[in-house]
Amino acid sequence: MQNEYNCIYALADLHTITVRQTPAVMRKNIIDAYASIMACGIDVEKSLFFIQSHVHTHAELAWALSCYTQFGELSRMTQFKDKSAKHADNINAGLFTYPVLMAADILLYQADK
């Protein structure tokens, strides 16, 4: 695929922090995942591959979008409802605004093209 298209691969680690976990374990898992994906043959000369939290514009765009996103729109998201029901002890703002971060991930790279 990377020989025919402009490919963008992101390790979306900002999405993982909506679930409580040990920071040292999370960092190790991110590095391990990055190494595993690189071992699959991604050619960084042909493709863009990055760790999401290392690109600050993801968080910046997510914040800007969240300022224009209506509470009612987010409260209707089925993923939030499902996860809230399953994990009542960990309902946080990150989980609630998860779709906004996903939108930022897509819009930042014009992934519709």
Q: Which domain holds residue 84?
A: 8-108
Rounded Cα gap, residues 55 and 106, in angstroms: 14
User: Which CATH number characterizes residue 75's domain?
Assistant: 3.40.50.620
Q: What total of structural domains would you count in the chain?
A: 1
Which pLDDT does position 20 carry in this prediction? 85
Q: Is residue 3 part of a domain?
A: no
* Any domain includes 87: yes
CB 50 within 8 A of CB 13: no
Residue 101, CA distances (Å) to 54, 58, 89, 108 in order: 15, 7, 22, 10
pLDDT in tens, the chain (113 residues): 888 888 899 999 999 998 888 999 999 999 999 999 999 999 989 999 999 999 999 999 999 999 999 999 998 888 888 888 887 887 888 888 999 999 999 999 886 65
Whether residue 113 is contained in a domain is answered as: no
Residue 1 lies in a domain: no
* Residue 31 lies inside a defined structural domain of this protein: yes
Structural domain includes residue 52: yes
Is position 24 within any domain? yes
Q: What is the pTM of this model?
A: 0.83
